[in-house]
Structure 1
Amino acid sequence: MINTTLPQSNTVPACTALGSGVWLAFRHIAGTSAPAVPPPATGAHLLSVEFCRRGRHALPAGDYCTIAADGHAAVSMTAAGADDYYPGAVYEGLQFWIDPDAQTGSGFLALMGLDVHGIINYFCAGGPYYCPMGDELAALVDELWREFDVSGYASPGELRYAVVRLLYMLLQLPYADQMAWYPRAQVDLVRDAETLMLADLSVRHTARELAVQFGVSESSFKAYCRDVLGDGYLPYFRRKRLEKAADLLAHTDLKVQDIAVQVGYESQSKFAKAFADQFRLTPLEYRRLAEK
């Protein structure tokens, strides 16, 4: 049976409270709209620690953003209830938040020798911290993912222990990577353009058309997309259209011609060729394999 990895809607698990001012989530985001997933709306500012297995996450710092990508760890301060942006609407990772003002000497982090304010000063004094996880930390994240996320169950004690292990291993990582910073206005522009495009994939918007709409040059618009989405404007949205088509083939009985129209192809033959180039299968072959 073919692995159809695009669900029909975003799946974002609720945060699990692990103690006073500590939350953890195994995050899955896969869909055709850019989601907004806030951290716990408690406390003025939260320490956010994430381990990205797949996808991209915009990390704001004042008027700028950096982009956390797959295989990296990131530590930052975030406002409670902040509106997160995951460019590409695809993300898989483990993330936890700590309210520094809620930590006491009797909390499980302090009892395990972890000083939250010291961690903040170490990692976030100059803005977000961003570094490759390395083999050992990546293996631990994968282990926790298989053990807790795939099984769907873990006791609070097991999850607290997981947070402690992750923090101690994080403290052993080298200094942060050199990060690329992008004006927040540019990131917001790409987010608005992505939301517009993904809202109706049957409509094709040219880069020039969107550049005019958002008041920038076409070359600047394309550069912003490459920086934020990690891919060029045309390849990114072509892939999104074809992924949506694959989802419809796997989960609906719509005719191939109707699916082609829904994802912006007036010609069924051009759609079939583009689909085969992407998936190495014709649309009907993909549907048959998805049904097995």
Structure 2
Amino acid sequence: MLKKSGMVQDHGILNKMAWIQNHDKDGYKTIYKMNSTNGIGTMTVYKVFTGIELIINEFESTACLCNVPTYENVIEINHCQEGRQECKLLNGSYLYLGEGDISINTMNNCTNTMGFPLKYYKGISILLYLDEFVRDVPEILQDISIDIYGFKEKFCINDECFVMRATDKIKNIFSELYYVPESVQKVYFKLKVLELLVFLNIIDVSKKIQREYYSHQQVEIIKQIKNLITKDFKHRYTIQDLAKEYCISQTTLKTYFKGIYGTSMATYMKEYRMKQAAIMLRETPNSVADIAISVSYESQSKFAASFKEIIGISPLEYRKKCLADGKTSSKI
């Protein structure tokens, strides 16, 4: 999602996104904090090896704009932990990562905007600066036959983006990286990055799952539909009505909506209603009955049951919890 951390200011990100930058003394860790009209976000960059950076990304936003130039010999590996990631490729098509998925691409194949359809995202980016890496190969890798330049031919041939959907192996490599105690970060990050490189070196790409690309027009239609159905809770739209209005088949609508937002339209709307209700419970003194009506539930008991199903606790318990710990996060 970023170019080289030491070069970020030269790429104009601070002017575009109101980034606040913090360095540690030895330059191992750099934190960028975004505060823009799109939302807020944090990118914590670690220089794990010469030529390899690990970035922990946390966003409560619809998009992250990085005004960066393209580099052919930089490979970006993205892992989605929470939320959903939208990547727009230079050919105009879109690719989506769900929770547990990884993507691999060269930095000259993506636009400068990363989208988050669910308005929150937590993930890891690992950047491999191939030219720098081969000049100073980590000693631990010198006896292992890994062709780092071969990764580009293996995963990014013809400037394509390689995607692997969630597997237990991917989970084992990435999951603990998000919660490593600071006291052991340097050693642990090195070990896990090396594990990832070995894994990528031996993986059989012929067994990968087919990628699902979406055109700009397809994405725009589905986003228009999403905006429409979330604009007025009182109006219940059917798949049949929406497909007719937007001149697409019902099957196409259902397939594309799930591909972009990661779930069916009915499930998305149920979760969206409950998350809007949660915001009102946190930020307004409105009664539970009034909030239920606001999100188009005539029955308070049915609203409470749906809220508990999605959020995990009852509306009253949620309000008490928020008042006690002062949380106002937009991510539930």
TM-score by length of structure 2 reads 0.64
Question: How big is the shift at 1:120?
Answer: 0.8
CA gap of 1:170–1:51, structure 2 versus 1, over 3 A, is farther
From 119, 128, 152, the counterpart of 1:89? 119
2:135 corresponds in structure 1 to 106
CA gap of 1:287–1:120, structure 2 versus 1, over 3 A, is same
Correspondence 1:275 to 2:307: yes
CA distance in 1, matches of 2:39, 2:200: 29
In structure 1, give the amino acid aligned to 2:171.
A
Correspondence 1:52 to 2:85: no
1:69 corresponds in structure 2 to 98
Question: How big is the shift at 1:104?
Answer: 6.0
Question: How big is the shift at 1:49?
Answer: 0.4
CA gap of 1:280–1:24, structure 2 versus 1, over 3 A, is closer
Number of equivalenced pairs: 275
CA gap of 1:189–1:171, structure 2 versus 1, over 3 A, is farther
2:210 corresponds in structure 1 to 179
CA gap of 1:83–1:143, structure 2 versus 1, over 3 A, is same
**Unpaired runs of 5+ in structure 2?**
1-37, 325-332
Q: Are the equivalent residues in 2 in contact too, given 1:38–1:81 (CA < 8 A)? A: no
CA distance in 1, matches of 2:234, 2:75: 40
Deviations 1:247-271 (A, max 9, x none): 4424554433453455x32646364
CA distance in 1, matches of 2:311, 2:268: 15
Q: Are the equivalent residues in 2 in contact too, given 1:105–1:111 (CA < 8 A)? A: no
Q: Are the equivalent residues in 2 in contact too, given 1:49–1:96 (CA < 8 A)? A: yes
Q: Are the equivalent residues in 1 in contact too, given 2:51–2:129 (CA < 8 A)? A: yes
CA distance in 2, matches of 1:41, 1:152: 32
Q: Are the equivalent residues in 2 in contact too, given 1:39–1:97 (CA < 8 A)? A: no
CA gap of 1:153–1:129, structure 2 versus 1, over 3 A, is same
**Unpaired runs of 5+ in structure 1?**
1-8
Correspondence 1:284 to 2:316: yes
In structure 2, give the amino acid aligned to 1:123.
F
CA distance in 1, matches of 2:111, 2:50: 17
Question: How big is the shift at 1:225?
Answer: 0.6
CA distance in 1, matches of 2:52, 2:227: 31
From 12, 15, 27, the counterpart of 2:57? 27
Question: How big is the shift at 1:42?
Answer: 4.0
1:5 corresponds in structure 2 to none
From 200, 210, 215, the counterpart of 1:170? 200
CA gap of 1:90–1:205, structure 2 versus 1, over 3 A, is farther
2:149 corresponds in structure 1 to 117
CA distance in 2, matches of 1:99, 1:204: 51
In structure 2, give the amino acid aligned to 1:243.
K
> Does the residue aligned with 2:203 lie in a helix, a strand or coil?
coil
CA distance in 2, matches of 1:50, 1:70: 11
The one of the two structures with greater contact order (alpha-carbon pairs below 8 A, sep at least 6) is: 1
CA gap of 1:251–1:169, structure 2 versus 1, over 3 A, is farther
2:164 corresponds in structure 1 to 131
CA distance in 2, matches of 1:191, 1:109: 45
| Same amino acid, percent of matched pairs | 19
CA gap of 1:47–1:105, structure 2 versus 1, over 3 A, is closer
In structure 1, give the amino acid aligned to 2:163.
Y
CA distance in 2, matches of 1:277, 1:137: 28
Question: How big is the shift at 1:228?
Answer: 2.3
Question: How big is the shift at 1:212?
Answer: 6.3
Q: Are the equivalent residues in 2 in contact too, given 1:71–1:133 (CA < 8 A)? A: yes
Question: How big is the shift at 1:242?
Answer: 0.4
Correspondence 1:241 to 2:270: no
Question: How big is the shift at 1:194?
Answer: 3.7
Superposed counterparts of 1:179-258, under 5 Å: 179-185=210-216, 186-194=218-226, 204=235, 206=237, 207=239, 211=243, 214-250=246-282, 252-258=284-290
TM-score by length of structure 1 reads 0.71
- Alignment root-mean-square deviation, CA: 4.0
In structure 2, give the amino acid aligned to 1:36.
A
Question: How big is the shift at 1:12?
Answer: 2.8
Correspondence 1:13 to 2:64: no
CA distance in 1, matches of 2:184, 2:247: 49
